[in-house]
Structure 1
Amino acid sequence: MPPRSQPTARQERLGAELRKLREAAGMTAREAAALLGTNPMHMSHLETGRAGISEERLRRLAANCECSDAKLIDALVAMATDRTRGWWEEYRGVLPAVFLDQAELEHHALGVRDISVVGVPGLLQTEHYARAVFSFRVPELPSKELEPRVEHRMRRRSILERDPGTPYEGIIHEAALRIRVGTRETALAQLHSILEFSERDNVAVRVIPMEAEQFAGAYSVMLLAAGAVPSLDTLQRDVPDGTGFMTAEAQLVKARAMFDKVKAFSLGTKATRDLVREVMRNL
């Protein structure tokens, strides 16, 4: 089978984890290839996500790399053998690949933690709010590119609405609630939608009030997706060229600590709902 020309972020992550196993054991790529009965080129493809790996080969590699973390190995096997063809595949060739990678990341996440300061998090946005966000571009997107983006964003919400829904904790600054994205009607509908989501058992929404002193986390925007084990968590942040996925342990440790730091400035869920209702009354 020829190598994949455009591996997904999830496939690349699996390959990177295989490389970590090999390097932690002090094994060269040539030695690993010989162990698996293949050649160095194919080993390179495995470690870059351009080729898949069977469960038998993965477990053989892990055993010979003396990896004793059974939960990690099982999680990697699940990634390697997963054949899910998610709804996001309908947008391949229609939207940039990062949109598909985002949806796949969230679909497989065991939990999502989100921080947003000047806008409503994508997973909580209404259709009209999302359309206003995607419309505010220079140059403007033509309808045939705008509408798939809005539709894709709406379908991402399925992880919160399915049964059981993915556990979600979103922290939003009050400023994001008060910025009138779109019309007054759009803003009201968005706030109402946040209230509805906040009533779900799997969703916790917390707001950082304007009067919170010493909050300087305007640049702490992030989405942290939980993997099957903590080392497989993924940090998603906006970067100058688009969206970046970060997986280094130091980055994940820092992100978890930052989330907790920002959360300390937020209201509880009940007080948050009261504040959202107050903002609605003042619109």
Structure 2
Amino acid sequence: MALRQKPTLRQRRLGAELRRMRETAGLGGSQLARLLEVTPALVTQMENGKSAVSVERLREIAAASMCTNGSLIEALADMVKQPDAGWWEEYSDSLATDLLDVAAIEWHARRISTYSITFLPGLLQTSAYAASVFARAVPPLPPADGDARMAFRLQRQRVVRSGATPYVAFIHEAALRMQFSGPKVLADQLGALVDDSEDPGISIRVVPFDVEALPGPSENFVYTEGPVPELDTVQIDISFGCPLFDTPSDLSNYREVLASVASVALPEGESRDFIRSVKSEVVRKHG
């Protein structure tokens, strides 16, 4: 069977979990190859996502690695069985792979949590607000790229607006007040946030300035929950990409961050009132 030239995110994640399984057992690639009666090259290719892994092979690897985590093994088996393509593939010729990966993670997530400190979460942005954020890119985005990103972002929002995936957005007051394209765009965006906060599948909680210590990192991040905790993923928003983290230590650290943020964020009702008050202030000052 020909090797995959560009493994998808889920194929790479499956391979990474197989590698973690092997390394946890203290096995080298050659040792596992002997136990499976395959070549060391095939072990490497499976762990890189370049060679397909059947459910039967997955179970052989788990047994050889003495993995007793049944829930993880079954979740990985489901990954093997499920279709790997999605709506985001239509953008494969116009957008970077890391953006497609973000959409794939969100689509398969059981729950999504975000922490936003510099700009409001993309899954809740209005078209005008998103356009103003894209317009600040350095170097500037060509018009066609900006249009593609806009359409892509609006499609991504269906994950939470459909109610299919529970969503919790922790938003720092700084993000509520940051203006990218004038007070009207911000006021409209804040009004949309209030409306979204009434959606039973969307929880919006504000972290006000008067919290004694700023919880967590200084960048926006997204925490997506998989079918089991071991398959959770963290995505960091930076200027030049969307790096993903999925090691047990990274996941543990960001779970702690989310717990810390949740402990100081305002409850949903108070957060809704807080957003209304910021919107009123923006309108009063600039209206």
TM-score interval (norm. to shorter): over 0.9
Residue 124 of structure 1 is matched in structure 2 by 124
**Are the aligned partners of 1:117 and 1:218 in contact in 2 as well (CA < 8 Å)?**
no
Name which of structure 1's ranges 112-121 and 257-266 shifts more when overlaid on structure 2: 257-266
SS of residue matched to 1:267: coil
Structure 1 Cα separation of the partners of residues 215 and 85 of structure 2 = 41
Note the 1:107-186 alignment, pairs <5 A.
107-162=107-162, 164-186=163-185
1:241 deviates by 4.2
SS at match of 2:242: strand
Q: Decide whether the 8 Å contact of 1:112 with 1:167 is kept in 2.
A: yes
Question: Which stretch shifts more, 6-15 or 248-257?
Answer: 6-15
Partner of 1:22: 22
Shift of 1:205: 0.5
Per the normalisation by structure 1, the TM-score is 0.93
| 1:270 is the counterpart of 2:258 | no
The residue correspondences of 1:1-283 to structure 2 (distance < 5 A) are 1-162=1-162, 164-215=163-214, 217=216, 219=218, 221-239=220-238, 241-283=240-282
Q: Indicate conservation of the 8 Å contact 1:195/1:273, yes or no.
A: yes
Aligned pair count? 282
> Aligned partners of 2:215 and 2:104: how far apart in 1?
32
**Equivalent position SS for 2:236:** strand
Matching residue of 2:285: none
In 2, Cα distance between equivalents of 1:245 and 1:154 = 21
Farther off after superposition, 186-195 or 111-120: 186-195
Paired letter, 2:252: V
Deviations 1:208-264 (A, max 9, x none): 122223336561532111111111111111356421111111111111111111222
The 8 Å contact of residues 109 and 225 in structure 1, kept in 2 or not, is answered as yes
| Secondary structure at 1:264 match in 2 | helix
Task: Give me the whole-angstrom Cα distance separating, in 2, the residues matched to 1:213 and 1:69.
Answer: 41
The share of aligned pairs that are identical, in percent, is: 37
Deviations 1:8-48 (A, max 9, x none): 23221110111112222233323433444532212211001
- Higher mean alpha-carbon deviation, 2-11 vs 103-112, is at 2-11
- Asked if 2 retains the 8 angstrom alpha-carbon contact of 1:114 and 1:222, the reply is yes
Give the drift of 1:124.
Answer: 1.0
Cα distance, 1:119 vs structure 2: 0.8
SS at match of 2:237: strand
Question: Matched residues in 1 for 2:215 and 2:59: separation?
Answer: 46
Distance across 1 between alignment mates of 2:216 and 2:85:
37
Moved more, 176-185 or 97-106: 176-185
| 1:11 partner SS | helix
- Range that drifts further, 131-140 or 106-115: 131-140
Q: Is the Cα contact below 8 Å between 1:215 and 1:265 reproduced in 2? A: no
Q: CA RMSD of the aligned region, Å?
A: 1.7
Give, in whole Å, the separation in 1 of the partners of 2:137 and 2:67: 48
Could you list the structure 1 runs, at least 4 aligned residues long, displaced by more than 6 angstroms after superposition.
Answer: none
Maintained 8 Å contact 2:219/2:237: no
Residue pair 2:215, 2:257 contacting (<8 A) in 1 also: no
- Structure 2 distance, partners of 1:28, 1:213, is 48
More displaced stretch, 228-237 vs 212-221:
212-221
Structure 1's unaligned 5+ residue stretches are none
Change (3 A) 1:258 1:6: same
- Taking structure 2 as the reference length, the TM-score comes to 0.92
